[in-house]
Amino acid sequence: MIKGKQRMKILALDSSGLVASAAIVAEDVTIAEYTVNHKKTHSQTLLPMLDEIRRMTELDLSTIDAIAIACGPGSFTGLRIGAATAKGLGLALNIPIIPVPTVDSLAYNLYGSEKIICPLMDARRNQVYTGLYTFKDGELVTIEPQCAVDIAQILDKINAVGKEAVFLGDGVCVYKERLEELTRVSFDIAPACCNRQRAACVASLGEILYRKGIFESAAQHAPEYLRLSQAERERNQKSGGGCL
């Protein structure tokens, strides 16, 4: 429950991909957001970013109502770092965690677009973490839920819908030639200002989920990987169990 306040204050984290992002959002106001996409690991950046936001905004952590976290899919290491950070804070502050699907929150960058929104996160092994979305009457509509598939599969689905599309995410530059070769509908590529993960989007979508009753305790929270890690796949292959 919100602690007797009308405006909900959310701390949001996204370390699911190459970008590390943290934000404080109070409903329709982004109080602070810190986003970095430059070489360093999330273990080096996430906590210092949070501390800087706290210091610059003179944030009293006890005023936070919930923690929204990009819960996956994405980088296994990044998701674990984000989950551990969220769980630690959630337990210390005794506040709930709102698990926000990573691909959904990436699509939320393009709020209001009536085109087919296709986030692409490079999942390697010729796969992407992706999904298909659009907005209708100001609400995010899921056409194809987040999944891990070959790039050609998601482009086939876009072609089948037959509607203008827009791509965003770190997978765009990796698979740009495939996009140009296989996409049969008109498409755009989102510009730099809105083509990567943003914690403010995680917070905004997180509040919507919270109002719908979608949240959990810090003890319950765990990332959603969608597929096995490389170590697990190799172990299964050696044991003859196949892989995902």
- Using DSSP's 3-state secondary structure scheme, residue 47 falls into helix
Q: What is the pLDDT of residues 131-170, one digit of tens each?
A: 999 999 999 999 999 999 999 999 999 999 999 999 999 9
Dihedral Cα 176, 194, 119, 215, nearest 10 deg:
160
pLDDT at 125: 85
How many C-beta neighbours within 10 Å does residue 224 have? 16
Q: What is the pLDDT of residues 178-204, one digit of tens each?
A: 999 999 999 999 999 999 999 999 999
Alpha-carbon distance of 193 to 240, in angstroms, equals 46
Phi, psi of 217 (to 5 degrees): -75, 160
What string of DSSP letters covers 190-226?
--GGGSS--HHHHHHHHHHHHHTT--B-TTT-----S
The mean-pLDDT minimum among 67-76, 115-124, 233-242 falls in: 233-242
pLDDT at 117: 98
Question: Confidence band (pLDDT; 50, 70, 90) for 1?
Answer: very low
Alpha-carbon distance of 110 to 133, in angstroms, equals 10
pLDDT above 80 for 23? yes
Q: What is the pLDDT of residues 207-229, one digit of tens each?
A: 999 999 999 999 999 999 986 54
